[in-house]
Structure 1
Amino acid sequence: MQAPVIQRVTSLDLTLQRRPWPFADERRAEIDAHFAEQQRAKPSLWNGRVLLGRDPVFSTGRLSANYFETDFASFLAWRDWGFPDPEIFNGFGMGALLASDGAFVLGEMGEHTANPGRIYFPSGTPDLDDISGDTVDIAGSVLRELAEETGLSPADCRADADWHCIYTGPALAMMRILRVDMPGEALCARIEANLAQQQEPELAAMHLVRSRADLTAAMPRFVTAFIETQLGA
């Protein structure tokens, strides 16, 4: 994984293509066996359809890329096996929750998920619900994941106009700051109350980041790279 490259853009031009993925086709049997093994350990894993990207191009104020549909099992194998197809990236949106007192609010993924213990902002690999015509709607994906993971709605936050795109090669995190008019502790408490009502919440705990001292190894590099730029501003 390469060092993070951060680009700030105001628009996302993400086109959906109908195309095969040779990696998934050629290693189908291995992929299915790998997913079956993972599912035995975590029965809640579901082999749904997801969208992956390729051909990212940054120009003045714009990110352009192409997306294609595949199954979660193929994505999981590609991730777990060290990203054997270097032309592909996991391009997802993240809602960077920012409380009124300047604290960032992040969630810790539960043990039953594909990323147990990892700490980051509400997000998810885009799927079929994020398709709008022949494009991928990352802005909509961010709000959908926000509601699913935290119970917050678009009315609870104000989204910045621009995106902070953190590219590491296998991952491209498109982060949009979501400003919430309540202090960090109160925002965490509200989300935790929502999690307590869910039968199997994705998040196991909430974390506040106010300074670099609050950053941990459980946070992916694209998350810490983004927060470092914000804390340094």
Structure 2
Amino acid sequence: MTDVVIHRVTTLDLEVERWDWPFANQRRDEIAAHFAAQQHDKPGLWNGRILLGRNARFDNGQFSASYFETDFASLLAWRDWGYPDRAVFNGFGMGALRAADGAFVLGEMGAHTANAGRLYFPAGTPDLADVSGHTLDLAANVAREVEEETGLTPADYRASAHWDCVVTGASVALMRMLDAAETGEVLQRRIEANLAAQDEPELAGVRLVRSRSDLTAAMPRFVTAFLETQFSAGEPSS
């Protein structure tokens, strides 16, 4: 099992800088061939520009890191080849949507996505649209991803003041609790109606998680680790 460390922070200092990733430069031809093969199986994959991190630091309730621009093909190859460059990490925000009755709301990734069948909180790899000046605005990224995937806006939930940074290997999942006023079943129906109205939704469905017994192998370790801490603390009740 992958070792997990969770840091709770209240401030983020995420600087975006220009940096040439040696892995992406030196293995460009292999990366292109790998992405072409993946795109053959899933034509909907798009090689957009994304942001990855390095120089992660946790200190006095703050998470600091430097982010740099690369392409999705390089991220995909780096992930699929076992993260050969461990100086880099994939640092992304997740909206840990919690219903009024304590149920956590997760989405099942659609068959056309790079993570088909996996169960996640609403999330997305940061990109240039999330940059303000020279800073990565992860709060805005989470709000955008939640709205794109579920149709919920910041008016539908209360965002926590803290982030739980779940470190697993080469990933840092920055979880922000989003507390909604509606029950799990109401949120599920609302989100499913939103998905049905989309031509090609990113999610294939919605899953409610109320206890450890609802955890499955389809959930990445950073998701189950976060949920285990909530259940251990008695949140939410079954």
The 8 Å contact of residues 119 and 220 in structure 2, kept in 1 or not, is answered as yes
- Please list the CA deviations of residues 59-97 of structure 1 after superposition, one character each: whole Å capped at 9, or x if unmatched: 011000010000111111001110010111100000000
Look up the match of 2:189: 189
User: TM-score scaled to structure 2, two decimals?
Assistant: 0.97
Q: Could you list the runs of 5+ residues in structure 2 that have no partner in the other structure?
A: 234-238
Structure 2 Cα separation of the partners of residues 87 and 96 of structure 1? 27
Q: Percent identity?
A: 67
What is the TM-score of this pair, normalised by structure 1? 0.99
Deviation string 1:15-39 (CA, Å, 9 cap, x unpaired) is: 1110100000000000000001111
Look up the SS of the partner of 1:29 in the other structure: helix
What amino acid does structure 1 have at the position aligned with 2:82? G
The answer for the alignment partner of 2:9 in structure 1 is 9
Q: Which residue of 2 aligns with 1:112?
A: 112
Aligned to 2:203: 203
Counterparts of 1:202 and 1:4, CA distance in 2: 28
Residues 107 and 119 in structure 2, CA contact (< 8 A), matched pair in contact too: yes
Q: State whether residues 2 and 221 of structure 2, in contact with CA within 8 Å, keep that contact through their aligned partners in structure 1.
A: no
2:15/2:67 contact within 8 Å kept:
yes
- 2:236 maps to none
C-alpha distance in structure 1 between counterparts of 2:160 and 2:73, whole Å: 34
Note the 1:97-108 alignment, pairs <5 A.
97-108=97-108
Number of residue pairs matched by the alignment: 233
Deviations 1:166-220 (A, max 9, x none): 0113110000000000110110000000000000000001111100000000000
SS of the aligned residue for 1:123 comes to coil
The reply on whether 1:161 has 2:165 as its aligned counterpart is no
Mapping for residues 82-231 of structure 1, pairs under 5 Å: 82-231=82-231
2:32 maps to 1:32: yes
Provide the aligned C-alpha RMSD in A.
0.8
Measured in 1, the distance between the counterparts of 2:105 and 2:206 equals: 7
> How far apart, CA to CA, are the structure 1 residues paired with 2:173 and 2:12?
12
Q: Amino acid of the residue matched to residue 137 of structure 1? A: D
Cα distance in structure 2, aligned partners of 1:135 and 1:3: 29
**Conserved? CA contact 2:46–2:72, under 8 Å:** yes
Deviations 1:123-144 (A, max 9, x none): 0110011111111111000000
Distance 2:73 2:158 in 1: 35
Distance 2:101 2:43 in 1: 40
2:129, 2:170 → 1: CA distance? 22
Question: Counterpart of 1:169 in structure 2: which amino acid?
Answer: G
How far has the Cα of 1:2 moved from its partner? 4.2
Dislocated runs of 4+, deviation >2 Å: none
Gaps of 5+ in 1: none
